[in-house]
Structure 1
């Protein structure tokens, strides 16, 4: 089971880290070999070669990661910007994928995302614990899931030299000129592929009902696209949960994922 974090490189206010799964790892690993991966340019993973700050490079890196470990028939679990790579891997390397779990993904779901709007106006300086905490709390239904250890992990990554270099490159024109246009192109291609019934893998969609950045209606639209062609598909909406429902309701989430993965283990 591969857990893929959300987030993009180039955000000086807050970042996504593998510690986002710290309330799920132990429970899931009772039944599966579980790996949480930080995408290219995020966490402690190095920046892309040749300044290739694109989602396409992120997908290629994840495929190479799975190939290097010799893994196939994997349960892919992606949240937010980590969900789009799940579907991209299924499209380009279906031999690697057993099932897909897509969680609160504005990046992949049809429609226009509200992430930048809802996370704008942080009152704290960039690269600080306070900015990291503010974004995480703003993304949650309840701040109880934003623990000091979770904030500290993000703060550490924010201040890595390679991460700050990535922010500089992205804000120097790469985000608007390259990253976003190519992301939009990849999203169009993947949604067209989903609409044509290309996925062909058991898939579940899990959504926090109170996400300010990606409404349940967008999750439902994504689910309907998949369910029109994939009989082994389901959608679960978790109440009183924001952008990271697996942190706010870990027992419920772990049960949903374990049951789904076991049911479709072959």
Structure 2
């Protein structure tokens, strides 16, 4: 499935299907394509929206979790989306989704986190990418997945090209450090919306104990693990991820939305 990118008021995004809205947020080295299988499955009966987060282009002074959350706020205003949404986030996108939910509990119907930062993450295996070293980038991208074959040449090439830009690397470092500083451990107990946690048992970036801690702190959460799966379950185990998501959406269909902030 080739995703069609739309543009409005300077925002680039995917907007497929009609119905209840699913808002998908990608990670630091993520892309719209990370969510292809989710779009394919759910755009038949949902409106699936994915903003392209300006991770590599945003002003350096705003390159962080709060800046990305503000970008999501501005994007939703630009497309005139005011109804409560189900927000899904992977990795850094999960962190942004958490901050958005804490800021706007009345705008979030449900929350879905997979490999989310916000408590702990070992980004790029504890190292920032080395410029010009393709083998290193290839190894680090493969580290994201249980099956290194998921790290296709196209994916590795994309990350390699990003890491060869000084300007982009500065923003990556700024955002990664911001994510580490913005630990949400003291805030997560305030989240009351139904929350689904889908985690890879073999996630080395946000390992299983992180998922258990999210589950402990978010009282309205349920936790599902996928074996033989790393940091991006929606890419590595798409059928199982979509099945958990479908069950969760059906089970929580009648849950009321919070009123007020």
CA RMSD of aligned residues (A): 2.7
1:219 aligns with 2:226: no
Q: Are 1:115 and 2:123 counterparts? A: yes
Normalized against structure 2, the TM-score is what? 0.77
Distance 1:119 1:137, change over 3 A: farther
Alignment match, 1:145:
150
| Pairing 1:193–2:187 present | yes
In terms of fraction of residues, the more helix-rich structure is 1
Secondary structure of 1:221's counterpart equals helix
Q: CA deviation at 1:246?
A: 1.3
TM normalised by structure 1 equals 0.76
Q: Give the gaps of 5 or more residues in structure 2.
A: 1-21, 255-261
- Which residues of structure 1 form unaligned runs of 5+? 8-14
CA contact (8 A) 1:136 1:146 kept: yes
State the partner residue of 1:11. none
More strand by share: 2
Residues in 2 aligned to 1:35 and 1:80: alpha-carbon distance in whole angstroms:
18
Aligned residues of 2:146 and 2:228 also touching (Cα < 8 A): yes
Say whether 1:5 aligns with 2:16. no
The match for 2:106 is: 95
CA separation of 1:169 and 1:203: change in aligned 2, threshold 3 A: closer
For residues 84-132 of structure 1, give each alpha carbon's deviation from its aligned partner in whole angstroms, at most 9, with x where no partner exists: 1111111112232110001112x213xx43335x25387xx63676554
Name 2:259's counterpart in structure 1: none
Q: Higher relative contact order by CA 8 Å / sep ≥ 6: 1 or 2?
A: 1
Q: Secondary structure at the match of 2:187?
A: helix
Whether the 8 Å contact between 2:51 and 2:75 is mirrored in structure 1 is no
Deviation (angstroms), 1:239: 0.2
Displacement of 1:135 after TM fit?
Answer: 2.2
The alignment covers a number of residue pairs equal to: 232
User: What is the match of residue 21 of structure 1?
Assistant: 35
Q: How much does 1:253 deviate? A: 0.4
- Show the counterpart of 1:81: 92
